[in-house]
Structure 1
């Protein structure tokens, strides 16, 4: 799997299993760790209730007939972030791929997905190019109206996790008055002032691979997308969870991992996910954007962009 987390052990830190990955908090003031954990737990539970594909969430209860539905303001915000990511990447990061993912076997929490199973019983459904037809309209401070095209199951996993990391970090810093790093798997957000003028983050391309440590400034974020961390096999097909929206099948595994640094975790995750989908075209694209990035090919070749290491 891909690990992106602060180097252990450090004072004022804790970690626990979450969403088939590991959640981790590091606070500059160790005395605020318990309160920080409560804040992160509250946010992660709320996001799960809003948009998990694997539980009785608002997303799984949406009607399949295309009519507008009143939903929580949180789900409205999460869908809005997903649509911004789709617009930002020309549709490379697409929130409408829930059904193709389910058809490929990723239809439950990844810890429960059989890593090896029989052949696919049929081709996955054609991806529905529906993200431009999704509508979100605020309805006061606590609700929104959401319209999803018929046949579309939302999958907000990438942007929702990154958004949650950003929100957790901001609220811990604001409420607890301490610098904080929040890592939800490969999505890392920071806020407030650290004890040492930045945060050391270990970027590792697998549990047995050598890692590289980078320092990110207070308030910055990093995210890693991977074709190796969530991988399973159907028949002779090796599959992973980052789909090419144009085909509804896993993106060509040109890159094992792509790590991007940005001002927000949502931005970093949006660009790293799109880079996986774009393959070789990701390198000139990221360099044109000028963002710090690290791409690792299947052969282990490392390519960088921008001012990496951040």
Structure 2
């Protein structure tokens, strides 16, 4: 869970906990703060009810597997965004990893999950047979060198699971078909989409400049303050920190392998193997003109690891190594 934070810029800020992270709403007119916060709370509640993997009454959980089901415009937008991210990244960001996340122990809201991974010596969920010294979940059959598990060398075409991927999900004219055996998880994109939607909603309804930050996903809309929105980019306390300014309408996202962890696992999976991506990067931050686009790139960059350079060519981005070295690309400011 990145600790990317808005810095005080003179406009009042509303702040509360949601989805295992912190929601912040900043507006250019302090008199609009309470109303802006109410709009964002309502929108986040609607997103949660539409697509939460952790509540039995969510629209996503009530889908009938293998059948085309008419869904709400909100869920259709959220699924369309996830499928677009998958298509644009060649499957590096794949919403069909829900079963893999569940199997690894990410089976409840992260705020509830945090309590059971606090003992570092306990490691990951023992029900998976996670051997801390061996470093792989035995219960999933990943109990030796990956080449030995697959019987061949590791390559981008190798898949551990025979389950369908994002290309098997169909969304046509508001009707969604999810294959039997596939559990959708929109976590890689829904928070970013929510930030975009909330910022636009506040600016449109209240006629103010707005910045909405949901953990590491930050979106802006409307006329911002002079000089732009000032944002502090930092993951964990003690990590490299940098203040940057976002022009009105811009967004920034940070993906982390140090946040949202339980035991020795983190939440960004490589869809091709159904396991957390190697920690080549501690964090990746990207600036773009939608939070969805920024988050799509940060997540895919974590998954690609050392191959992230090609993905981020020409994109303002900041990558932090596990040793806390900083790599800037695409015009990211020094």
Matching of residue 258 in structure 1 with residue 284 in structure 2:
yes
For residues 220-231 of structure 1, the aligned pairs below 5 Å read 220-231=250-261
Determine which of 266, 283, 300 is the counterpart of 1:240.
266
C-alpha distance in 2 between matches for 1:70 and 1:100:
26
Matching of residue 84 in structure 1 with residue 84 in structure 2:
yes
Determine which of 171, 180, 188 is the counterpart of 1:136.
171
Contact 1:78 1:163 in 2 (8 A): yes
Matching of residue 293 in structure 1 with residue 317 in structure 2:
yes
Contact 1:97 1:127 in 2 (8 A): no
Residue 127 of structure 1 deviates from its aligned partner by: 6.5
| Superposition TM-score, scaled by structure 2 size | 0.86
Equivalent residue, structure 1, for 2:126: 118
Determine which of 264, 268, 286 is the counterpart of 2:294.
268
Residue 205 of structure 1 deviates from its aligned partner by: 2.4
C-alpha distance in 2 between matches for 1:245 and 1:284:
19
Equivalent residue, structure 1, for 2:332: 308
Equivalent residue, structure 2, for 1:52: 52
CA deviation map 1:76-115 (0-9, x unaligned): 1110110000000000000001010000000001122221
| Superposition TM-score, scaled by structure 1 size | 0.92
Q: Compared with structure 1, are the counterparts of its residues 119 and 298 closer, same or farther at alpha carbon in structure 2 (3 Å cutoff)?
A: farther
C-alpha distance in 1 between matches for 2:182 and 2:10:
44
CA deviation map 1:248-269 (0-9, x unaligned): 0000110010000000000000
Equivalent residue, structure 2, for 1:141: none
C-alpha distance in 2 between matches for 1:100 and 1:53:
13
Contact 2:286 2:297 in 1 (8 A): yes
The structure with the greater share of residues assigned to strand is 1
Contact 2:14 2:34 in 1 (8 A): no
Secondary structure, counterpart of 1:213 in structure 2: strand
Contact 2:227 2:245 in 1 (8 A): no
Q: Compared with structure 1, are the counterparts of its residues 27 and 220 closer, same or farther at alpha carbon in structure 2 (3 Å cutoff)?
A: same
C-alpha distance in 1 between matches for 2:162 and 2:112:
24
CA deviation map 1:258-285 (0-9, x unaligned): 0000000000000000000000110232
Residue 210 of structure 1 deviates from its aligned partner by: 4.2
Secondary structure, counterpart of 2:17 in structure 1: strand
Matching of residue 213 in structure 1 with residue 213 in structure 2:
no
The structure whose Rg is larger is: 2
C-alpha distance in 1 between matches for 2:8 and 2:184:
35
- Report the number of matched residues: 298
Contact 1:127 1:247 in 2 (8 A): no
Contact 1:2 1:207 in 2 (8 A): no
C-alpha distance in 2 between matches for 1:284 and 1:154:
28
Residue 185 of structure 1 deviates from its aligned partner by: 0.8
For residues 82-231 of structure 1, the aligned pairs below 5 Å read 82-113=82-113, 114-115=116-117, 116=122, 117-118=125-126, 120-121=128-129, 122-123=139-140, 126=161, 128-138=163-173, 144-231=174-261
Runs of 4+ in 1 over 4 A off after TM superposition: none
Equivalent residue, structure 2, for 1:61: 62
Q: Compared with structure 1, are the counterparts of its residues 247 and 227 closer, same or farther at alpha carbon in structure 2 (3 Å cutoff)?
A: same
C-alpha distance in 1 between matches for 2:96 and 2:280:
23
Secondary structure, counterpart of 1:158 in structure 2: coil
Matching of residue 249 in structure 1 with residue 284 in structure 2:
no
Equivalent residue, structure 1, for 2:310: 284
Mark the runs of 5 or more structure 2 residues left unpaired by the alignment. Answer: 130-138, 142-159
Residue 193 of structure 1 deviates from its aligned partner by: 1.2
